[in-house]
Amino acid sequence: MDIHALQQIVHQTRDARRKQTLPKFSPAERDQLIHKYHPDFRERAYRPIRFGPNVGDKTVVELATLLEGDSPIPDDFDLAPDYTTDVLVVGGGGAGCAAALHAHAAGAKVILATKLRLGDSNSVMAQGGMQISVAPEDSPVTHFLDTLKGGHMQNDHQLLKVMVEEGPSIAKWLLSLGVLFDRDGDGNLHVKKGGGSSKPRLLTCSDYTGLEIMRVLKDEVLNQNIQLLEFCAAVELTSDEKGNCTGAIFKDLDNHRHIVVAAKSVILATGGIGRLHIQGFPTSNHYGATGDGLCLAYRLGAKLMHIDTFQYHPSGAVYPEQLIGALVTEGIRSEGGHLVNAKGDRFVNELDTRDVVSSSIIRECEEGRGIRTMSGRIGVWLDTPLLDAEHGPGTVEKHFPAMMLQFERFGIDISKDPVLIYPTLHYQNGGVKIDTNSETNVKNLFVAGEASGGLHGRNRLMGNSLLDLMVFGKRSGLTAAGRAAGMSQGKLTVGHLKGFRAESKKHGSGNGVVSPMILPAYTRKE
């Protein structure tokens, strides 16, 4: 059958579904559903890490292999620095730009290095919005409780309190830089309701929130003349005799030479892991999301946490083939879009947390109520035309111009026809353990944004990532900058690799894998 014939059931059942209200699952039902269907609970995808700071902890095989991987840098590498700086930021996404801007504003000399271009990141793709409790009926405490509930009560309370309390001042900072958040008629910030949140709290720039914030932050990094090293991938960190972080070694991807940067502090803002395609999932992540920061921090002795849990965004595109894995923003569900199975039935409250919604979609598909494409992909319908039916013609086009354009390129009008979706690998819930200043257990090594762990617990709430980036980018940048004046540059060695390599040998892990991955191996070999 062609797609139009199969879609008819969605159109036919729309009016009946509009009258329905679906209750959220009880805590017991949620747990049961997640344990049975969420990819985090597929035992065979996991194994314990053999050595290092997290020895014995389980994570997905793909990540364990990279964490145990060897460094490309030999013990006797020449570490004469090519650049010297107070603060070295690794990564050019939201957290990296925020860290660099705040450190620079605090008077530090800053270098921002990134393996692609400034701004090439997941941040630029964030469509759903940014959670900040600005509405009178809302509060930072409610934001805290919603996030905790979404994170299965596993979130670090101190990190979380800091994030929700600093949110409003972050909004003010972004507004002062010229970010155009959507407004209400009275000039106040417009808030939307996000999945798993009890109050409307999402600040948005239509469905281009991440793009708008990143356009502005990138422009500001350039205006401030912050030194950039683009197309330079971090491949190792350096340490002094005490094991404190003192800089990093990069590979220049254009000429394959190494670049050594001496720094009083290093901020890793390297983002997530989607391009590892954990458990074979497609991903919504950008080209460079290969978990490099985790490998670098781990070799230097930084402890990781919650690295056994990943977020599978409920709505990744399944059709057309060209868009597989691309996100269909949660905003569609926030505005009332239904999830519909092959029988035309709803099967979950669409505004439940991402892990619950994803698990329920996987359940529908595994129990034979999914829609299959001839390439073997399977999915359920997201009723996008419902938004026009509910809120008036033109709603989809006005509120989701990015989505409209993306599908229009392949001849699909999402305001007229529903889209086929299935969970896509979206976010790394855990990462490197940090304190409230974003510092790891390795002195002078900071981690900000998706590469860090603890804040989101075992499931990140929609809209909390953009805020995470801004808050902990800022805190890492300010702390690193504040420290620079009172300290001298430590010695650059790769002494930590000696111990790491000895451990590796002892555990017979010499599997030939070298990490970080830098870019996924998509190039077809003959």
Partner 1 sequence: MTQEDKENIIDQPEVIRHKMVTIEIAGKKYEVPEGITVIKALWYTGQEVVRGAGCLGGFCGACAAYYRTKDDPKVRTCLACQMAVQDGMSITMMPPFPARKATYDIQTLKDPKQDLFNLYPEAPLCRNCNACTEACPQKIDVREGVWKAVFGDFKSVSEMFMDCVMCGMCTPVCIADIAPNLVALYVSRAQGAHFTEKPLGLDTRIKEIEDGRFNDEWTKILKMTEKELADHCATVK
In whole angstroms, the minimum distance from the beta carbon of 174 to partner 1 comes to: 9
Contact between 91 and 255 under an 8 Å Cβ cutoff? The reply is no
Read off the DSSP letter of residue 200.
Answer: -
Residue from 8, 32, 35, 141 touching partner 1 (CB under 8 A): that is 141
Q: How far are the Cα atoms of 235, 296, 445, 493 from residue 248, in angstroms, in the given order?
A: 8, 9, 11, 10
With CB under 8 A as the contact rule, which of the stretches 49-57, 120-128, 479-487, 497-505 interacts with partner 1? 120-128
Cα 477–480–485 angle (5° rounding)? 130
With CB under 8 A as the contact rule, which of the stretches 50-58, 96-104, 279-287, 432-440 interacts with partner 1? 279-287
Residue 215 binds partner 1, judged by CB under 8 A:
yes
With CB under 8 A as the contact rule, which of the stretches 239-247, 313-321, 436-444, 464-472 interacts with partner 1? 313-321
Q: Per the structure block, which two tokens stand in for 459?
A: 């499931």
Residue from 212, 364, 450, 468 touching partner 1 (CB under 8 A): that is 212
In whole angstroms, the minimum distance from the beta carbon of 218 to partner 1 comes to: 8
Residue 28 binds partner 1, judged by CB under 8 A:
no
Q: Per the structure block, which two tokens stand in for 334?
A: 């926030």
Residue 29 binds partner 1, judged by CB under 8 A:
no
In whole angstroms, the minimum distance from the beta carbon of 120 to partner 1 comes to: 4
Rounded CA-CA distance 108/160 in Å is: 27
Query: What is the footprint of partner 1 within residues 69-108 (CB under 8 A)?
Result: none
Residue from 36, 42, 409, 416 touching partner 1 (CB under 8 A): that is 409
Residue 235 binds partner 1, judged by CB under 8 A:
no
Rounded CA-CA distance 404/401 in Å is: 5
Out of 333, 338, 354, 496, which one is annotated catalytic?
333
Which of 125/382 has CB closer to partner 1? 125
Residue 32 binds partner 1, judged by CB under 8 A:
no
Q: How far are the Cα atoms of 41, 170, 307 from residue 37, in angstroms, in the given order?
A: 7, 37, 19
Residue from 21, 43, 225, 255 touching partner 1 (CB under 8 A): that is 225
Which of 223/511 has CB closer to partner 1? 223
Q: How far are the Cα atoms of 50, 67, 447, 517 from residue 71, in angstroms, in the given order?
A: 16, 10, 20, 11
- Whether 35 is catalytic: no
Contact between 271 and 466 under an 8 Å Cβ cutoff? The reply is no
Q: How far are the Cα atoms of 42, 159, 175, 421, 457 from residue 197, in angstroms, in the given order?
A: 27, 19, 24, 22, 15
Residue 368 binds partner 1, judged by CB under 8 A:
yes
Indicate the helix (H) or strand (E) that contains 427. Answer: strand 419-428
Rounded CA-CA distance 417/436 in Å is: 46
Out of 38, 313, 458, 496, which one is annotated catalytic?
313
With CB under 8 A as the contact rule, which of the stretches 77-85, 284-292, 450-458, 475-483 interacts with partner 1? 284-292
Residue 320 binds partner 1, judged by CB under 8 A:
yes
Residue 206 binds partner 1, judged by CB under 8 A:
yes
Rounded CA-CA distance 245/487 in Å is: 13
Residue from 70, 165, 345, 390 touching partner 1 (CB under 8 A): that is 165
Which of 192/483 has CB closer to partner 1? 192
Which of 405/485 has CB closer to partner 1? 405
Residue from 81, 140, 336, 482 touching partner 1 (CB under 8 A): that is 140
In the beta sheet, which residues pair with residue 130? Answer: 203
Q: How many residues bind partner 1 (CB under 8 A)?
A: 94
Residue 142 binds partner 1, judged by CB under 8 A:
yes
Rounded CA-CA distance 182/400 in Å is: 13
Residue 416 binds partner 1, judged by CB under 8 A:
no
Residue 16 binds partner 1, judged by CB under 8 A:
no
Residue from 18, 35, 42, 157 touching partner 1 (CB under 8 A): that is 157
Q: Which of 245, 357, 290 is nearest to 65 (CA)?
A: 290
Residue 472 binds partner 1, judged by CB under 8 A:
no
Which of 124/234 has CB closer to partner 1? 124
- Whether 183 is catalytic: no
Residue showing tokens 């026809």: 417
Residue 455 binds partner 1, judged by CB under 8 A:
no
DSSP 78-114: ----SEEEEEEEE--SHHHHHHHHHHHHTT--EEEEE
Rounded CA-CA distance 218/321 in Å is: 32
Q: Per the structure block, which two tokens stand in for 251?
A: 């590979």
| Chain Cα centroid distance, residue 396 | 25
Q: Show which residues are catalytic.
A: 313, 333
